[in-house]
Structure 1
Amino acid sequence: MTFAIDDHTFVRQELHTPLPPPRRNIGVLGWMRENLFSSILNTLLTLFGLLLVVLILPPLVRFLILDAVWTGDNREACLAPGTGACWPFVKAKFGQFIYGFYPIDQRWRVNIVFALGAALLVPLLIPSIGQKRLNALLFFGAYPIVAFILLTGGNIDASAFLFQHFGLFSGLAGASVAGVKLAFWLDFLLTAGLVTGLGAVIGAALGDARGVARIVASVFLGLGIITLLWDIDFGLQPVETRQWGGLLVTLVIGVTGIVTSLPLGILLALGRRSKMPIVRLLCIIFIEFWRGVPLITVLFFATYMLPLFLPAGANPDGLLRALVGVALFTAAYMAEVVRGGLQAIPKGQYEGAMAMGLTWSQMMRLIILPQALTLVIPGIVNSFISLFKDTTLVLIVSIFDFLGQLRAAFTDPNWASPVTLYTGFAFAGIVYFIFCFGMSRYSMFVERRLNTSHRH
């Protein structure tokens, strides 16, 4: 910066110190001015929100904390006039809320399942912790098998059951157990070879026969390992799923639905955008069918009508039928969410991937799907939250989830009081809020990390 004064030149060596921003635009007052009182409409909405807080929060705090009863052995502690929440009721029934009717001396198995799940999930969700591939393999591959064996006791003789009811050559097997098992594995290998070959044919039409065949073979390898482990006797006491209940069932249904619906939804979304008419038509029929019926109907069909369409003697477990129904129902909605992300990817991304010589599976795995899934993170998490809350519907098919166990606890005359009902539902609301709010906040963290807003 120069100034000419009387033919002499003055050169400034440093800039002026900038003036501080106005005091009203910084700090708490600045934030409130910008976000709460920036306009007349925002001011009115802010005042209306404050009014709601004043009307709702104090009574809620009084009921849940200030006037609440914290100690007691029965309903007598919660019968006084003006009494708030009856927390001794929750304490007395807490084990039932978490484990359902799971045998008390075997609840250590459920605790191990919960601990293993947390130990594998937390590092998977923290970006700074390495070894994500191994962690994901353990959580999505090994953990479900270990959890199933611990919760049920294992040794369900899956190979004999599957071969007897679904084997291609079940009539040729001998009466001995060894003969049935040998026939099953021969039948399994033959089926795996046929389906892998069919996958290679479909993959050839997509330009990547080897990649599709490898995926199909990996699926059959995983199914074979699972079936083999289920046949092993680990010496655990068998526990039928009808004895499960409470938060255990809610988490089993929710986690299973989330883990299975996302990959199924991705496959359905890719199939709906496929250039092969038959594949596209089948995917459209599947998606529109499951989206056209309510979840209650799906659960009733899976529980009471599905056995009518299975071979004689085949009667899958009731919880398993509900899991399959919930997973397929959620996968149809997930497919449309993922399809929205795929349609948002510019055509140039496909052309660039093909110009680099990438196969179809490489293009989808490395270029297209990462971008598409990043764009639809809010929709995916919204589907997960909806699924977690919809697990309460399994009560209508006699599966006692967390809310079902809560309603069953209300029938105990030892805790019948005017505030027991409100206390139980308040406790349930807090539990569901913790899980759903946690998923929501984590999705926002992932969005910020991946910069999905594309703002500069």
Structure 2
Amino acid sequence: MTRENLLYVRDNLAPREHPPVNNAGALAWIRGNLLSTPLNTVLTIVALLLLWWFVPPLMRWLFIDAVWSGSDRFACLTSAQGGELPEGWSGACWAFVQSKYQQFLYGRYPIDQRWRVNLTAALFAVLLVPLMIPSVKHKVTNALVFFIFFPVLAFIFLVGGFFGLSYVETPLWGGLLVTLVLSFVGIAVSLPLGILLALARRSNLPVIKALSIIFIETVRGVPLVTVLFMASVMLPLFLPPGVSFDKLLRALIGVALFASAYMAEVVRGGLQAIPKGQYEGADALGLSYWHKTGFIILPQALKMVIPGIVNTFIGLFKDTSLVYIIGMFDLLGIVRQNFSDANWATPQTPVTGLVFAAFVFWIFCFGMSRYSIFMERRLDTGHKR
């Protein structure tokens, strides 16, 4: 028997082969995700039929039959009519948005002073983008400038009355400016305040724990409209004579306090999810309460509740539209206010304005959602494994 016949272990690698055609490519993905079972096949067909029924008329109304330019409502009334659309109904009136977009952004902020708003927005973007990119260094310095010095600069630029800048009263503010101011202040204040409330609710000190519980349960038990109404109408009644707060400041306080109560419960859920061994290990090292909380417990808890935190931020951003109740005009409020303009009184105007406002809100909310997913994946260190 020769030596070759005695060899039964391969001494070289087998040639590489391509994967089966049925297990790779677009067809394999469709078969595995859309047509894997009879139920999935039926649902896929129904979804395609719904898209076929809904998307073409929507695209036609949004783009094909839409009116993109014009000086008044007659531009939209005389546009070409679509066959599948109701009689007398043309496409979207984007000319209305084009004519009013300055108000949608700035409200009644003086035209010659709007460069201050643009400069504030540019500073906001310049400081926020490096803070969101993990590879950029000097995060502590960036955060201090963004959360401490930038609000002071924004107040100086937007309100004025300093360094030769003319004073602009807040009742003139409106549109996206008010929405971003309310949401930024609410987010920046509610997160640290919510963390403190969550820690207070888990405290061993009875008075601090009771006060935290009373505040959280009271605020969570009423709608935001009630909180805004109390901050705007009832709060001045309890102040000494001659003492008053700006309406925007009162709205900021109400929104921040309301969001902090919900944030506290989100953070408390993360604190309760930390295994007891983490606390015992920190105690065994002789760490103080604040060192244990700041360096071991709180970082893990916040990482675990990122979806809940971002969900609260998104809800806060959308809830800013409720300031319309107290006479302030955010983006949605200023859009609705312009519906009464007789120069743009058409059936298409309200729907187009609401679609525009909805798209702006969606852009910001979708951006926050995607960034939270990115941070979840980056911070996923296998805590539960």
Q: Is the TM-score greater than 0.5?
A: yes
For residues 168-207 of structure 1, give each alpha carbon's deviation from its aligned partner in whole angstroms, at most 9, with x where no partner exists.
Answer: xxxxxxxxxxxxxxxxxxxxxxxxxxxxxxxxxxxxxxxx
Cα separation, 2, equivalents of 1:32 and 1:371: 39
Alignment of 1:371-450 (within 5 A): 371-450=300-379
Matched, 1:275 2:204: yes
Is contact 1:374–1:452 with CA below 8 Å preserved after alignment? Answer: no
- SS of the residue corresponding to residue 340 of structure 2 reads coil
Residue of structure 2 in register with 1:54 after alignment: 52
- SS of the residue corresponding to residue 117 of structure 1 reads helix
Greater mean alpha carbon deviation, residues 381-390 or residues 78-87: 78-87
TM-score (norm 2): 0.93
Matched, 1:313 2:246: no
Cα separation, 1, equivalents of 2:41 and 2:197: 46
Cα separation, 2, equivalents of 1:244 and 1:145: 18
For residues 350-375 of structure 1, give each alpha carbon's deviation from its aligned partner in whole angstroms, at most 9, with x where no partner exists.
Answer: 11112122221111111111111111
Name the CA shift for 1:4/1:365 in 2 (closer, same or farther; >3 Å). farther
Cα separation, 2, equivalents of 1:9 and 1:40: 50
Cα separation, 2, equivalents of 1:442 and 1:36: 28
Q: 1:17 aligns with which of 12, 15, 18?
A: 15
Greater mean alpha carbon deviation, residues 29-38 or residues 304-313: 29-38
- SS of the residue corresponding to residue 410 of structure 1 reads helix
Residue of structure 1 in register with 2:155 after alignment: 148
Cα separation, 2, equivalents of 1:389 and 1:321: 18
Letter in 1 for 2:361: Y
Structure 1 unmatched runs, 5+: 155-232
For residues 396-428 of structure 1, give each alpha carbon's deviation from its aligned partner in whole angstroms, at most 9, with x where no partner exists.
Answer: 100011111101111111111121111111111
Matched, 1:249 2:247: no
Name the CA shift for 1:14/1:301 in 2 (closer, same or farther; >3 Å). same
Deviation at 1:455, TM superposition (A): 8.0
Residue of structure 2 in register with 1:174 after alignment: none
Alignment of 1:228-377 (within 5 A): 233-377=162-306
Letter in 2 for 1:77: A
Residue of structure 1 in register with 2:139 after alignment: 132
Residue of structure 1 in register with 2:127 after alignment: 120
Deviation at 1:452, TM superposition (A): 6.6
Deviation at 1:454, TM superposition (A): 5.5
Deviation at 1:48, TM superposition (A): 2.7
Letter in 1 for 2:235: L
Residue of structure 2 in register with 1:69 after alignment: 67
Cα separation, 2, equivalents of 1:439 and 1:281: 34
Is contact 1:257–1:323 with CA below 8 Å preserved after alignment? Answer: yes
Name the CA shift for 1:316/1:418 in 2 (closer, same or farther; >3 Å). same
For residues 188-240 of structure 1, give each alpha carbon's deviation from its aligned partner in whole angstroms, at most 9, with x where no partner exists.
Answer: xxxxxxxxxxxxxxxxxxxxxxxxxxxxxxxxxxxxxxxxxxxxx42211111
- SS of the residue corresponding to residue 325 of structure 1 reads helix
Cα separation, 1, equivalents of 2:7 and 2:371: 60
Is contact 1:4–1:10 with CA below 8 Å preserved after alignment? Answer: no
Letter in 2 for 1:145: V
Residue of structure 1 in register with 2:86 after alignment: none
Is contact 1:375–1:452 with CA below 8 Å preserved after alignment? Answer: no
Cα separation, 2, equivalents of 1:58 and 1:260: 44
Letter in 1 for 2:49: L
Name the CA shift for 1:269/1:452 in 2 (closer, same or farther; >3 Å). farther
TM-score (norm 1): 0.79
Deviation at 1:304, TM superposition (A): 0.5
Deviation at 1:273, TM superposition (A): 0.6
Deviation at 1:453, TM superposition (A): 6.9
Deviation at 1:31, TM superposition (A): 1.9
Deviation at 1:33, TM superposition (A): 2.3
Letter in 2 for 1:21: P
- SS of the residue corresponding to residue 312 of structure 1 reads coil
RMSD: 1.8
Deviation at 1:85, TM superposition (A): 1.1
Deviation at 1:64, TM superposition (A): 1.0
Cα separation, 1, equivalents of 2:294 and 2:278: 13
Q: 2:39 aligns with which of 23, 38, 41?
A: 41
Residue of structure 2 in register with 1:168 after alignment: none
Cα separation, 1, equivalents of 2:45 and 2:51: 10
Is contact 1:25–1:33 with CA below 8 Å preserved after alignment? Answer: no
Deviation at 1:11, TM superposition (A): 4.7
Cα separation, 1, equivalents of 2:239 and 2:382: 48
Percent sequence identity over aligned pairs: 61
Cα separation, 2, equivalents of 1:105 and 1:9: 90
